[in-house]
Chains A and B, each alone.
Chain A
Amino acid sequence: MPRRMTRRARPRATAEAPQETVPVRVKINGVEYSHNVEPRLLLVNYIRDVVGLTGTHVGCDTTHCGACTVLVKGLRGDSWVAVKSCTLLTTQVDGKEVLTIEGLAKNGELHPLQKAFWENHGLQCGFCTPGMIMSALGLLLRNPNPSREEIKWGITGNLCRCTGYINIVKSIEAAAKEMREKGITI
């Protein structure tokens, strides 16, 4: 089994009084948001509870399931990277750009990953799917032509209890092909 790390998920308030809020500005799916948030607010809670985009899910409290995966630009240089939004504080994306599952389809047209998951039955209950797709996208941006093994290792941080992964891997292979052929990235 791959090594898994544990961390404590919900940062606890230490002060007696409720925490001060701090301003954040973040662009999500191309829309600029600014809010005052508690410094301990996790990015996933910001996306879901404050901004109201509920496609990004929460499946654990220890950074294992990957249901909360989104892309962030500006964390590491200027490229988009897949991150588990339950492991970041909202303040860490201040001034940066975030892409969630809701921002993936363009003008009503599904992204090749979404299409491929649909065609290849890459989802059942669908709960892991947004995180899985964002994680796969992060992988394909890094490595547009991954081997089957590389795909499997690329999504080890995303758990799916329904599909047995076979059709997920197939979906990612199919999407990778279409993205290469058509020169599509995000």
Chain B
Amino acid sequence: MAVTRLFGAKIRRKEDLRLLTGRGKYTADIYLPGTVHAFFVRSTYAHARIRSVDVSDALGVEGVIAAFTGQDIKDALGAVPTAWQIPGAELKVPKYMPLAVDRVRYVGDPYAVVVASSPYVAADAAERIKAEFEPLPSVTNPEKAVQPEAPQLYEDAPNNTAFVWRASGGDVDGVFSRADVVVEQRMVNSRLQPTAIETRGVLAVYDRYAEKATVYMTSQNPHVHRLLLSLITGIPEHRLRVVSYDVGGGFGSKIHCYGPEAVVLYLAMKLGVPVKWIETREENFKSTIHGRDHVQYVEAAATRDGKVLGLRVKSYANMGAYLSTAAPGIPTILFGPMLSGPYTIQAISVEVVGALTNTAPVDAYRGAGRPEATYILERVMDLVARELGMDPAEARARNFIPKDMFPYRTPIVLTYDSGDYERAFRRALELAEYWRWREEQKRAREAGRLIGIGLSSYIEICGLGPSAVARATGFGLGLWESTIVRVHPTGKVTVFTGGHPHGQGEETTFAQIVADKLGIPIEDVDVVHGDTDLVPFGLGTYGSRTTPVAGGAIAIACDRIIEKGRRIAAHLLEVREEDVVFEAGRYYVKELPERQKRIQEIALAAYAAGASELPPGTEPGLEATAFYDPSNFTFPFGTHVCIVEVDAETGQVNILKYVAVDDCGNQINPMIVEGQIHGGVVQGLAQALHEEAVYDERGNLLTATLTDYLVPSAVEAPDIVTDSTVTPSPHNPLGVKGIGEAGTIASTPAVANAVLDALAHLRVRHIDIPLRPEKILRALRKV
């Protein structure tokens, strides 16, 4: 492939060779001699008082080394912290102990742990643990949980209410009183199980003499885990090393700190041998965080000609039994401000009630708050269009923020950086042959066939985010990112990043940034991440932040290297610094381009550091550290179009066409961008059609295996036509915006709108996702 510029090139990924040959190093792949294995004993009750737990029989099993209950370790370990404490919402943070002590609060809540010579023996022995419980009434639905008569989970969180968060902007009452039409809808944003194909796991080892612990674990943010584990266990941060080499997908679920992670570390310390725990899929489904789960009441005010003026939203957000690491911020900070989307809506008021329930904790899952908002808005656009007898495309076109209004300030605090929403929208309609399909739909309806066309225009808050905003909204840390770019004496480069890609391909895109900036071959750049002893403190990978924020840091570090190199080059070339030009890996004298030094020569001079090599007062070495704290979020956007046919006999939905036009600003590697869209779209359409985490009325998770929780296989995945527009972010050093979550955010409403559009002429107004055949048939029978 003739590559003219590495930035923007579709080049194959550097990380792939090891992954393709079975040489990836996932947590479960690390074996240390003498390792023993932990097995967690988990509640089968949704809510119960623990009367007693007797581990003595388990201890008698050959091969069992130790067993502890929540009671045994309650003084040795602190509570699991909630790191996003949103202000002004009367937040109640219930005590979240690593192992339940006197009460279990969801099916899957761990209350004891067995350690044995093998995982098989540990699992066997766990069955010998005798526990007595006093079952208590339970509640799983967020709307019911906050009613006064509901069973109470905590004494210090009356009515199971963790918080009530409100935000508003614009003259909401005014626009509603002026409106020609008001549409109202109750919507359920279904509960999801993230389902990374690699489950979570930990291998901890403690050196008693050095008093130092190493924790190999499945983490999206090793430094954040190190900090939280240090707080829980009391091991000082500088004596704690968290290592996460390859991670088999996260989607948010490996951001958070979980009790068992701290327990395994504690066991390694206590027992003096390496302790390993690899979650089973069943445990993963029952106790790794879930996502979404809102019950939403929405009102929209619009004019006769389709202008949406305002929104009122009340949402009951299910938080699960404990407030997980980032949980309070997801349905609030990352949800409310998103409600105006790409539209000129002037007035919004939103109230979110965070409900504690007898279910697994709910936290950030791919999109995190933003899909929940986009789903509301895109359903509203269709409902308004329908109310007015207008085409849904027309309704959207009348509401887009015009491209000359940027930077654009939304009613709820955001300032959008750049956008041309209509361009992406028009391109998507064109690629989908939207108007032709509308004709086709008419003909099909006459023939009794159900064809539907769904649209979804979205914007996304990415590149999280300015630290000042993070802190002002109660996040425990800033959201900057760090890097060290180290040029070695031979001009080869190692990049240490605080980001922690786990599928997003930044070992390649970051190398592209550096190779492009420094004008060196991409083979000469390697990226290191995921080891807290090697890389500077970083915030990790989530929220589509790694390319814009960690990539931004790398760009800045490269500029610093280039500047230092210029001083050295000027010295070597015996000219003034301002006369030296840097271009494509060489420094040359402005008027005499043949007088030049390659960056590799400069690197060697920087390390050789003789008097003739370094200008006086210049430090030896050639590397730069950068901490980049973005001045704003980035706001990618786009429009997706989905065309479906619904089988009136079976209720089955068949996707006929899917078009995604996305704008994530400049693209460093369009192949990787497209891959992120593909995966995101399929994950989002799964929510629209297949996936839903379901608890029964006694709090049992009915979807605890992959038989019941329907992750799409290749057969359910449609072909996807992708295209992009490019509107660079004006404030990001690379003009990039982030693309990790866009597909997931856009596709759920696009698919749901398509299915409901197919049924619209039959007076079906709304069905809650997932739109499974049985629900569609039920709705069709009613009409």
Chain B: interface secondary structure? loop
- Indicate if B22 sits at the interface (CB-CB under 8 A): yes
Specify which of A53, A59, A118, A126 lies most central, judged by the most chain B CB atoms within 10 Å of its CB. Answer: A126
- Indicate if A60 sits at the interface (CB-CB under 8 A): yes
B715 near A105: Cβ-Cβ < 8 Å: no
- Indicate if A100 sits at the interface (CB-CB under 8 A): yes
| Bound form: Cα–Cα A4–B248 in Å | 23
- Indicate if A58 sits at the interface (CB-CB under 8 A): yes
Residues 116-130 (chain A) with a chain B CB within 8 angstroms: 117-119, 121, 123-130
Q: Look across to chain A and name the residue whose beta carbon is closest to the beta carbon of B713.
A: A156
- Checking B198, B505, B679 against A127 with a beta-carbon cut-off of 8 angstroms, the contacting residue is B198
> In the assembled complex, which residues on chain A have CB atoms less than 8 Å from the CB atom of B198?
57, 59, 67, 125, 127
B21 near A110: Cβ-Cβ < 8 Å: yes
Q: Look across to chain B and name the residue whose beta carbon is closest to the beta carbon of A18.
A: B62
> In the assembled complex, which residues on chain A have CB atoms less than 8 Å from the CB atom of B707?
4-6, 62, 64
Q: With A18-B63, A62-B281 in contact, do A125 and B21 touch (Cβ < 8 Å)? A: no
Residues 382-441 (chain B) with a chain A CB within 8 angstroms: none
- Indicate if B768 sits at the interface (CB-CB under 8 A): no
| Bound form: Cα–Cα A62–B713 in Å | 16
Contact-residue size bin, chain B (C-beta under 8 Å from the other chain): 35 or more
B120 near A57: Cβ-Cβ < 8 Å: no
- Indicate if A163 sits at the interface (CB-CB under 8 A): yes
> In the assembled complex, which residues on chain B have CB atoms less than 8 Å from the CB atom of A53?
22
| Bound form: Cα–Cα A48–B683 in Å | 30
Q: Look across to chain A and name the residue whose beta carbon is closest to the beta carbon of B720.
A: A166
A64 near B62: Cβ-Cβ < 8 Å: no
- Indicate if A176 sits at the interface (CB-CB under 8 A): no
- Indicate if B629 sits at the interface (CB-CB under 8 A): no
> In the assembled complex, which residues on chain B have CB atoms less than 8 Å from the CB atom of A49?
31
- Checking A114, A118, A159 against B711 with a beta-carbon cut-off of 8 angstroms, the contacting residue is A159
A166 near B717: Cβ-Cβ < 8 Å: yes
- Checking B21, B127, B711 against A55 with a beta-carbon cut-off of 8 angstroms, the contacting residue is B21
Q: Look across to chain A and name the residue whose beta carbon is closest to the beta carbon of B198.
A: A127
> In the assembled complex, which residues on chain A have CB atoms less than 8 Å from the CB atom of B25?
54
Question: Could you say which of B139-147, B670-678, B727-735 contacts chain A?
Answer: B670-678
Chain A: interface secondary structure? loop
Q: With A117-B20, A124-B505, A163-B679 in contact, do A13 and B124 touch (Cβ < 8 Å)? A: yes
Q: Look across to chain A and name the residue whose beta carbon is closest to the beta carbon of B678.
A: A164
- Indicate if A75 sits at the interface (CB-CB under 8 A): no
Query: Can you report 24 A-B residue pairs in the complex whose CB atoms are below 8 A from each other?
Result: A2-B713, A6-B705, A54-B31, A56-B22, A57-B198, A58-B28, A101-B22, A118-B16, A121-B13, A121-B672, A124-B505, A125-B197, A125-B247, A126-B248, A127-B246, A153-B714, A155-B713, A160-B197, A161-B197, A162-B675, A163-B675, A164-B678, A165-B712, A165-B717
* A residues with CB within 8 A of B: 1-2, 4-6, 9-10, 12-13, 17-18, 38, 40, 48-49, 52-62, 64-65, 67, 100-102, 104-105, 110, 114, 117-119, 121, 123-130, 133, 151-153, 155-169
In order of increasing CB-CB distance, the 8 nearest A-B pairs are A55-B22, A127-B248, A126-B19, A125-B503, A164-B678, A164-B682, A64-B706, A124-B503
